[in-house]
Amino acid sequence: MKKQILINQYNKCFEMLTEMIKKYDEKIWDDDKNYQHPVWQIVYHLLYVTNIYCSSTEKGIIKWPKQKVNYQFFGKTPWPPFEEVIADEPYSKSDMIEFSEFVNSKIPVYLDDMKPEERCWPHWYDEVQLEFQLNNIRHIQHHIGQIIERQDIASNFKYDWK
C-alpha cells in the first residue's frame, strides 16, 4: 500500500517535470549569464539526486548511462579537495526528458526493496526509509517550483496547472 502511494506521487512529480521541460523556453534553458546555475543543471541535479535517493541501498543504485561525473553539484564538490565543478556541456531538454523517464521507470524497482521503518542509507540523514522518500518528493517539487518561477520571471510564462 505505502509503495503504491509513493509510486503514484513520484509519477505525478515526473509528469509535472516533463511537462515543464517541454514547455520551458529554449532561449533560457542553458542561461548561465543571468543565473549562477542554468535550468538544465538544476533539472539534472534533481534527477540525479532522486535516482540515488530512491534506492534503498547505495549498492542498489542504477546509473543513467549518460550521466557525467559531478554535474549534480552546484559549485564545489562537498568533499576534499573541494574541486570546482565545471558543467560545461549542457544537457538538452530531450536528454533531461530521457533521464526523467529513466528515473521514473526505476522507482518501482527501488521501492520493492524499501523497508519503511529502517534507517535510510545516506548516513547524513536521520530518517527512516519511508520518511526519506517523502523528503525526496519534497526535493523534486522544490526544484520544479524554482524552475517554473524562473521561467515566469524571464518570459511571463504561466504554468498551466491541471
The pLDDT of residue 34:
84
Q: Which helix (H) or strand (E) holds 109?
A: helix 93-112
Tell whether 160 is covered by a domain. Answer: no
Could you tell me what percent of the chain has a pLDDT over 70? 95
Total domains in the fold of the chain:
1
Tell whether 110 is covered by a domain. Answer: yes
Tell whether 34 is covered by a domain. Answer: yes
Tell whether 157 is covered by a domain. Answer: no
**Per-residue model confidence as pLDDT tens digits over 87-137:** 889 999 999 999 999 999 999 999 999 999 999 988 889 999 999 999 999
Contact 72, 48 (CB under 8 A): yes
The residue ranking higher by pLDDT, 36 or 106, is 106
* Dist CA 24 CA 94 (whole Å): 12
> pTM here?
0.90
Q: Which helix (H) or strand (E) holds 144?
A: helix 129-155
**Per-residue model confidence as pLDDT tens digits over 55-70:** 888 999 999 999 998 8
Tell whether 158 is covered by a domain. Answer: no
Tell whether 114 is covered by a domain. Answer: yes
Tell whether 22 is covered by a domain. Answer: yes
Domain of residue 84 covers 2-152
**CATH code, domain carrying 29:** 1.20.120.450
The pLDDT of residue 131:
94
Q: What is the DSSP letter of 76?
A: B
Contact 114, 129 (CB under 8 A): yes
Q: How many CB atoms lie within 10 A of CB 81?
A: 6
